[in-house]
Structure 1
């Protein structure tokens, strides 16, 4: 693999600085160059940016700002130089002249352009530089957006292009797609077209902004930001620039006309309403008299902002009831002749499908590259060619012909050869259609898919809420698949069954899944229902079941590795803490958040926190565990959630052998490898009946003093203080002297008793109801 020991980014604007931040996230020292003083300003913006561009705040130390005029000679020491200056061809060419002068063998140079031609950018450079030049188009913000489009110029050496692709995929965790040197490449070409046809269809069918937003978001398999919120986020001036870039650089006059600037967007830009960066665009945030934020929407007729309206139609209701993106779209299509919103949706869907098919071969070689670009760059649930397949290739073509519309040439050619879809699955392997036949999608050894393993008959058992799947090397993975992956009786039963199965027949166990989030916690609805009905014995049984399942995991005489990703909250954290090792995805938001619903952790979370605090104290040769325990107490009491996998260290949840996996696709492979490594080293069976040395009533008093101070200062409510007091008692082992060794069971009993008592509090039940109703905590 090509190795980057030192990188440089030229241009410390929003994108350049953020690219440097993501290189720093991957452990790469980076020189950030701009005109005098601008690089330092760029670093200051990174420090203040929300959400943070860094996995861990300290990573900013890997970036050194510099003056391009004085330090361009330093480029010669860099393995990778990324140009990220403004999207103006002459400015880019002047920077590339400097790069060309500093170029040395082994250096790769790339432009972060969203659509300018790389051939035109490098036209003045020497042959050696051009052979190692390309586009690396990061999507904004680079830490969070997966897509990276890589575009060669005519003379780019193939081995250099492949080296960069591998590096960006493996080290930066990017979804790399190779595009052709055409205006706006892949994602922005298709995505911008989709926005434009939406605006045009809205005008034809006289829809309101609210109606368009209601249909062009999740119902079409697109983000909640739908159309106009997305445009505000992108920036309306930026959107016009992207439209202009296509309009002025395509040969087909009909296509150029399709990218005409929408009059409404031009009016907004002329008024300085550029979207989120100017405070108003299609939306504006206002404060109510009570100081709460209220979002208003543009009324195009008056160009004023009005309250958002509710939208309803038979087509929308039918689509909401359908399952999956294809099912929802099919429901809309079936009502397109009866409902104007459905008619609008049909036009938008079919226009995007046809345009994508027409551009096949021009902007990318394969349907797969276009699909991946739209999923990774615009967060579409399904790419356009996956949607062609889901709706039926022949059926969709027939619908077009029935209404006198043209079937795109690539689709017509496929149908002539009796090809039924762009993709085929056979025995768990994937094939894609290209140039007249189906080609095998090569599998990478380090990428393990639970879906593929299921297709290959590798399910050991399937249960309500979870399944156990063979992932190779005599290792199995317990996959949660309940609604939102919330932990309920089905998952707990599956955990105990998995423990028995692994002990008999397998080397070890991985806890992971491929859901949107790893686990959002326990089944809060079930708990609230039992509490409101006064079913205290039932709640007691639920908690005992949870605790016994977590203890079974920890006592398993085989290695257990947890591989959480994204939201891992409450009970999800408690399911990870018994593992011998946690491999966090880089984007893991990890925290015991039970206080937000008026409770404390009671599935072994408090026991694990007390034990971790003692272990950290022993590692640091501390006399007592007050300092690490205080950090964990604050994290739990304030329901703090890590901002990344690395950030779990700051909250106190990190153990010595834990690690972060930056590339999401390799998470299962790395977890399986960790199980095998632990087993090969000679796995030590966890001791039964262990005790934990606790801080006792003296440490509890210290923790409660801090709580009392916050209460007096008005930072927390009386109920917050009550919850924190119970948490302090549990974490310190109850009414015992400092330094007492207490049994794990006694700590679990304290957890359960405190949890039960809080369940009976009306204020706690109010918090639970608010969370279930709004997804937001109530501080009462």
Structure 2
């Protein structure tokens, strides 16, 4: 039972099976992907003279699934090359090979009999010590393994990945009654630490945790809509971001999932529960049955609750379904006081409270949905999961809710809401009433930064794993060394400080730059080193371009020059700190965010890091040291004085000039944004801990500050090569005249200006070139148009 997992087999190469195999490959685990043998060769295979005996035919399903991984968007793989870690095969020829793996995952059709038959075949080749799991979304683990031997059952459990496996954080582990508890704990740790998942332990009940609560919530919402006459748009206006939920809200989510799939999930509970009221709640509404019968299944059939059509001038328009007439019509944007108040409120807690207190029909809808979901969730504690924390985490990680049901209940006021529920004739679970009777006013509480939740009538401390560091908790413990409106320096303990950005969108402005400078001095005098990290939605979306645009439009060029000098000088100061610095970016890390990481001794990035110098998109070039750092890396990596730098600087020119953004942390390495010594972690929750450990290792080893080096540049000859390439793109119609102007400025900077090829220049010289080019571009009307467009539309303008 203690065998490490180094190799896996996935049986079933459909969307989920291939996606799971891809994620195993992402984290470095070679995987065997098996599926059935096709009944006959395809027309293409027959044309090649291949028969059913040929391996290419027999392995076709798995091989095609692997090939599709490279084309799927969003990408299931961190890097296309990782597909080579997956070996295709088939169940007739290759099933014996499962004896050589450490983890077997069954991902075949959701049919109990099919799964039982497959497990019987697996057991015939299974070796003790090998973990076997099912990716079922709702079939009983105990029923599935009932006919297997005792040793096999001890090694068997459910591992329910959410789709898509790479991106969805939730993984439900469902032990059977005979599963070895030690193995459950080991798999939980493995899935968290290696796969980067948020794991909850679910009980073997219909649809487990997230789908049980989520399906109930969707059905309740649909019932309220039909009974009270709300439109599709009105419901989605309430149940999306206004409540701290995803933009897909209710009906866009149903369209994405597929109405037939949703009905299957609801029917699974309906057919499995005995309680009459619960059975009625999961009875598929007539409107859903009607839509499925019509083939209106959502996105996969082209229409569901929404339908995209071509409008006037060929422009796409999304229509919504009118349930009264069952016809599609143009959408009507809902408006009300409560919706506007929720839009202005910050955070899910305040948004939900704003919705509920608006006193209009949208407030009524919010309450009618919410109270039923909260009561249902409370009634399932102990049945579907042991704790409220497991339920809350399942909904946050599986359905992307900002707050779980019990966190939501605390936000709206536990005591007050229960009083209202009882006045309206609702039955509140006895344990909730007992908890309030004891004088408690919330399910969670925080004492000195430590979080507790109610468990069996008393507060229990939330498990604090050392590798999960919460900056919020540290701030609640008064561990802030210094701070301002844009950033804070937080004491992580053990002599390491963390510089946290917390401006809107973590955009870099004067406040963050000031705090970086102050933090450098503080760490120099009082700490062993520093981590640059935060736990916002995105690490940093770049510099504050609104400030730059305002100054440029007012032609305050000295001010613009001062802003860029401050940025450059601050990054230079950070790089020259005599203590180790580790940056830990995650998700969107763009423009100035990348330049804030470049001075670090090491970058430890989340696998989900979308990293890029994107200044060209707003008509500028990187001027916070991004160009200089890239040129320095090329000079260092091609260290022989006679070696040709041109091919390498051309790649940099293309990367920056095309504003390339990585699709993962691994892709950032491929693009050259990250160095070979930088690391990528699957579990974003571990970033700050790992960055802190890296700082301590460097400090213990006797840290030597980064010394300034001269940069060998390609000079005027190399500039001409890059500019010639850009001119060719303009002549071919790939870029505009303004793009060409930006490209020529970028080439001038990366080449080191008009010096002879091979000249050694200083870092400051390169920074001066960056700043001069940046300033000149700020004065261009078309650059100002691009900046304005990005601020108002949120996307790049190609003018």
User: For residue 686 of structure 1, what is the aligned residue in structure 2?
Assistant: 706
Alignment of 1:637 onto 2:657: yes
User: For residue 414 of structure 2, what is the aligned residue in structure 1?
Assistant: 393
User: For residue 17 of structure 1, what is the aligned residue in structure 2?
Assistant: 18
Matches within 5 A, 1:108-187: 108-187=131-210
Deviates more, 1:113-122 or 1:2-11: 2-11
Q: For 1:579, what is the secondary structure of its paired residue?
A: coil
Equivalent residues of 2:507, 2:541 under 8 A apart:
yes
* CA deviation profile, 1:646-699 (whole Å, cap 9, x unmatched): 0012211121311101111211111011111122222222225x4211111111
> CA offset at residue 2 of structure 1?
4.7
Q: For 1:510, what is the secondary structure of its paired residue?
A: strand
Q: CA separation in 2, counterparts of 1:777 and 1:521?
A: 14
User: For residue 679 of structure 2, what is the aligned residue in structure 1?
Assistant: 659
Equivalent residues of 1:2, 1:163 under 8 A apart:
no
* CA deviation profile, 1:615-658 (whole Å, cap 9, x unmatched): 23239x98122222211211111111000000012211121311
* CA deviation profile, 1:236-267 (whole Å, cap 9, x unmatched): 11100000000000110110110111222222
User: For residue 349 of structure 1, what is the aligned residue in structure 2?
Assistant: 370
Deviates more, 1:137-146 or 1:453-462: 453-462
User: For residue 558 of structure 1, what is the aligned residue in structure 2?
Assistant: 579
Deviates more, 1:427-436 or 1:587-596: 427-436
Equivalent residues of 2:266, 2:283 under 8 A apart:
yes
User: For residue 380 of structure 1, what is the aligned residue in structure 2?
Assistant: 401
Equivalent residues of 1:592, 1:641 under 8 A apart:
yes
> CA offset at residue 766 of structure 1?
1.1
From 385, 401, 410, the equivalent of 1:364 is: 385
> CA offset at residue 301 of structure 1?
3.5
> CA offset at residue 308 of structure 1?
2.3
User: For residue 107 of structure 1, what is the aligned residue in structure 2?
Assistant: 130
Q: CA separation in 1, counterparts of 2:254 and 2:366?
A: 18
> CA offset at residue 758 of structure 1?
0.9
What TM-score do the two structures reach when normalised by structure 1? 0.98
Q: CA separation in 1, counterparts of 2:667 and 2:113?
A: 41
Equivalent residues of 1:448, 1:666 under 8 A apart:
yes
Alignment of 1:738 onto 2:739: no
> CA offset at residue 759 of structure 1?
1.0
Alignment of 1:452 onto 2:476: no
Equivalent residues of 1:136, 1:148 under 8 A apart:
yes
Q: For 2:483, what is the secondary structure of its paired residue?
A: strand
Equivalent residues of 1:205, 1:340 under 8 A apart:
no
Alignment of 1:760 onto 2:761: no
Equivalent residues of 2:3, 2:129 under 8 A apart:
no
CA RMSD of aligned residues (A): 1.4
User: For residue 513 of structure 1, what is the aligned residue in structure 2?
Assistant: 534
Deviates more, 1:193-202 or 1:422-431: 422-431
From 194, 200, 203, the equivalent of 2:226 is: 203
Q: CA separation in 2, counterparts of 1:660 and 1:577?
A: 15
> CA offset at residue 290 of structure 1?
4.6
Equivalent residues of 1:30, 1:63 under 8 A apart:
yes
* CA deviation profile, 1:493-537 (whole Å, cap 9, x unmatched): 000000111111111111000000000000111111111211111
User: For residue 51 of structure 2, what is the aligned residue in structure 1?
Assistant: none
Q: CA separation in 2, counterparts of 1:739 and 1:294?
A: 56
From 305, 326, 331, the equivalent of 1:308 is: 331
> CA offset at residue 223 of structure 1?
0.6
Q: CA separation in 2, counterparts of 1:756 and 1:705?
A: 23
> CA offset at residue 328 of structure 1?
1.9
Q: Name structure 2 gaps, 5 residues minimum.
A: 38-59
From 731, 736, 745, the equivalent of 1:717 is: 736
Q: CA separation in 2, counterparts of 1:322 and 1:288?
A: 35
Equivalent residues of 1:540, 1:756 under 8 A apart:
yes
> CA offset at residue 162 of structure 1?
1.2
Deviates more, 1:661-670 or 1:408-417: 408-417
> CA offset at residue 345 of structure 1?
1.0
Q: For 2:666, what is the secondary structure of its paired residue?
A: coil
From 189, 210, 213, the equivalent of 2:236 is: 213
Alignment of 1:750 onto 2:769: yes
Matches within 5 A, 1:254-273: 254-273=277-296
Q: For 1:27, what is the secondary structure of its paired residue?
A: coil
User: For residue 707 of structure 1, what is the aligned residue in structure 2?
Assistant: 726
From 438, 452, 476, the equivalent of 2:459 is: 438
User: For residue 275 of structure 1, what is the aligned residue in structure 2?
Assistant: 298
Equivalent residues of 1:2, 1:164 under 8 A apart:
no
Distance 1:600 1:288, change over 3 A: farther
From 543, 552, 563, the equivalent of 1:522 is: 543
User: For residue 45 of structure 2, what is the aligned residue in structure 1?
Assistant: none
Alignment of 1:232 onto 2:255: yes
> CA offset at residue 286 of structure 1?
2.9
From 670, 674, 690, the equivalent of 2:690 is: 670
Deviates more, 1:761-770 or 1:404-413: 404-413
Distance 1:697 1:290, change over 3 A: farther
User: For residue 418 of structure 1, what is the aligned residue in structure 2?
Assistant: 439
> CA offset at residue 288 of structure 1?
4.4
Deviates more, 1:40-49 or 1:545-554: 40-49
Q: For 2:445, what is the secondary structure of its paired residue?
A: strand
Distance 1:524 1:291, change over 3 A: farther
Alignment of 1:589 onto 2:590: no
Q: CA separation in 1, counterparts of 2:164 and 2:3?
A: 25
> CA offset at residue 289 of structure 1?
5.2
Equivalent residues of 1:616, 1:628 under 8 A apart:
no
User: For residue 670 of structure 2, what is the aligned residue in structure 1?
Assistant: 650
* CA deviation profile, 1:267-294 (whole Å, cap 9, x unmatched): 2222222222222222223344555433
Q: For 1:445, what is the secondary structure of its paired residue?
A: coil
Q: CA separation in 2, counterparts of 1:267 and 1:706?
A: 58
Q: CA separation in 1, counterparts of 2:329 and 2:572?
A: 55
What TM-score do the two structures reach when normalised by structure 2? 0.95
Q: CA separation in 2, counterparts of 1:106 and 1:229?
A: 43
Alignment of 1:697 onto 2:697: no
Q: CA separation in 1, counterparts of 2:321 and 2:639?
A: 60
Matches within 5 A, 1:73-88: 73-88=96-111
Q: CA separation in 2, counterparts of 1:768 and 1:739?
A: 36
Distance 1:189 1:609, change over 3 A: same
* CA deviation profile, 1:351-379 (whole Å, cap 9, x unmatched): 11111111111100100000000000000
Q: For 1:646, what is the secondary structure of its paired residue?
A: helix
Q: Name structure 1 gaps, 5 residues minimum.
A: none
Q: CA separation in 1, counterparts of 2:310 and 2:712?
A: 51
Q: CA separation in 2, counterparts of 1:126 and 1:513?
A: 49
